[in-house]
Amino acid sequence: MTPFDYSFTVKAPVSAVSRFHHDPGVLKKLMPPPLFIQIHYFEPLAESAKASFTLWFGPFPIHWEAVHTNVSPRGFTDTQTRGPLKQWQHHHRFTAVSANVARVSDHVKYEHHGGWRGLLTRLLFNPPALYLLFTGRKWLTRWHVWRAVAKSR
Listed residue (39, 10, 46) closest to 25, CA to CA: 39
59: domain CATH number?
3.30.530.20
Distance CA 41, CA 34 (A): 22
Q: How many domains does the chain have?
A: 1
In this structure, how many other beta carbons lie within 10 angstroms of the beta carbon of residue 40? 11
Note the pTM of the prediction, 2 decimals.
Answer: 0.93
Q: Give the model confidence (pLDDT) of 118-136 as tens digits.
A: 998 999 999 999 999 999 9
Question: How confident is residue 104, by pLDDT bands cut at 50, 70 and 90?
Answer: very high
Domain range spanning residue 98?
2-152
| pLDDT at site 58 | 84
pLDDT of residue 33: 84
* Segment 27-80, tens digit of pLDDT: 999 998 888 999 999 999 999 999 999 999 888 899 999 999 999 999 999 999
Mean pLDDT of 105-129: 95
